[in-house]
Amino acid sequence: MVYNIAQLSYRQSVTPPEMMGRTNAAVRWVVWGTLPIGGVLGGLLGTLIGVRPALRLAFVGSWAAGWFVFFSPSAACATSPDPRPRPHPSSGADGRRGSEADVFHGTATGATIPPRRRP
């Protein structure tokens, strides 16, 4: 649980807003995509060497993965990224995305609204 909160918070703080969806999709694809492979390998290992030795090996492997992350270059990150929000690419100097008139007339989004016909 703590790992999920920490990695998601870090990922959101270093990823530009326009890339957030792609980044989350890539991470989920890697994490969730390896689960079936691990299930098949765990079942195969449990069949070949037994359930208890397979679980011991899984325990050792989990700790080895933790040490790999501990000694990785990412562990040397001493500072966190700037937590201030970045302005949207289409926003003006004041950070707003358009005036009320632009939003009302549809020009802020590039949409065109046909004029109203009076009866």
Query: Is the whole model's pTM more than 0.85, yes or no?
Result: no
Q: What is the arithmetic mean of pLDDT over 8-34?
A: 88
Read off the amino acid at residue 49: I
Q: What is the arithmetic mean of pLDDT over 9-15?
A: 86
Q: What is the arithmetic mean of pLDDT over 43-56?
A: 95
User: In three state form, how does the secondary structure of the chain look?
Assistant: CHHHHHHHHHHHHHCCHHHHHHHHHHHHHHHHHHHHHHHHHHHHHHHHHCHHHHHHHHHHHHHHHHHHHHCCHHHHCCCCCCCCCCCCCCCCCCCCCCCHHHHHHCCCCCCCCCCCCCC
pLDDT number for residue 31: 85
Q: How confident is the prediction for the chain on average, in pLDDT?
A: 75
Q: Which of 87, 110, 84, 105 is nearest to 97 (CA)?
A: 87
pLDDT number for residue 2: 74
